[in-house]
Structure 1
């Protein structure tokens, strides 16, 4: 049996460290001497070394305790603990990258720009949350959309947060957050007339179809092809026709083109999304706003309207 001092000496730690882990129940003592001093068996050295290895991975003491409690399944418990630490470390690194990019954004701007940028950044967490953007879209979209359609539309409209942003992306996201955090009537101004109701209007058919139409048009937008007829445009028109209980006819397409041209737009939102999601190199992924522009332009071409039967 080893004394606490001998165990500490063999492990290369202080007596205080051994006592700390013993008091936490991580390092059970084998017995007590007649004078009440702790005594440990040789197996305590291996356990103490394991504890130090786990702590060297920055696992908190409660997590170390959980791993040691499952020694019969040590590998599984250790794998779960390490995976959790990697996720936490990844989040911390992302936060640091956002903070660095925000500091560079402020450092590299002119003195006149600095107060405005500081206000924008001060209103944003690092890394930022997409929750305000999702709330904006849930308030902007028509009420009582089916949960599946609502989730798909919001997912398509809300950009992912870059893990390693540039200063320009930090600025774009801060402006995006400011845009969606404006007073509620600001968003209402951009709502299509159809959102305000009407007998027989079925917005779930519109947004279900628009999600598909934007996905179909994305390849053409990405490759820079001129707007043209085809599956994407047909899907786009069918979504509007289905929501209104109409048929896809030349007259309907002409009327739809005029209606869409008169609507308020969310161009500012989509321009900022394009900046947030712009990759360091290569072609950017088209936003739903860019796909919508492409489809509206295709709809304005007379030959694509008159050719419908």
Structure 2
């Protein structure tokens, strides 16, 4: 139709893809150009009204309220500024939806109880400052004071990106749950305190017990050597001798083999976007069994 043509309220609604009630609503609030009247008193709208109502519909679908729509139509607000504001608001909504999706997915996979769901929801909603405080509390609980543990603290600190993925968010929630477990904290504290005691006694800094065991045990694992087999005795003796020379009680391997520690490191890598760490579990289990079997 050309600009001189006119529409009945029904025709306008049909062409614009809205209801007659919506056309009347927008018209009565002055959002459409004034309607003319037919000889019978019915409203007639020009083509400009169709263009205006299509714009209103677009703005409403983008989430603008009627007050903002009026300001845009009356040129009281520049459209680019309104678009920027609402784009930011949509980003918040998207993060919220991503959070809900991550929580529901995690709850479904774990068959979580109501109490666990509440905990997960609380952890996922923490602000950046609250997340940082939670991890700082955890690290203060498991690491003794001293400059030698500053690097360790940094390497154990998760940094959830602002634009995180669902996988990263779920990993953060599980990691935060682990970090609050008192018995897990006690295990890590015990390992760190023994390391601090060795250093205080003047022991020469050496790789941590896990690194030493991995280096010695990897070839035996790769060869498929059973830890109870006679051929494993020399490996067990070497591991025991190296650990004792470094002032490490071989019994510490049982604590280092705590699967929660390996899980924490796996989750940490996911949250921080690091490569997946090597799982020390098989090597530690092999060494623990070999030491016990061969009396090393």
Q: TM-score, normalization: structure 2?
A: 0.44
| Structure showing greater Rg | 2
Q: TM-score, normalization: structure 1?
A: 0.42
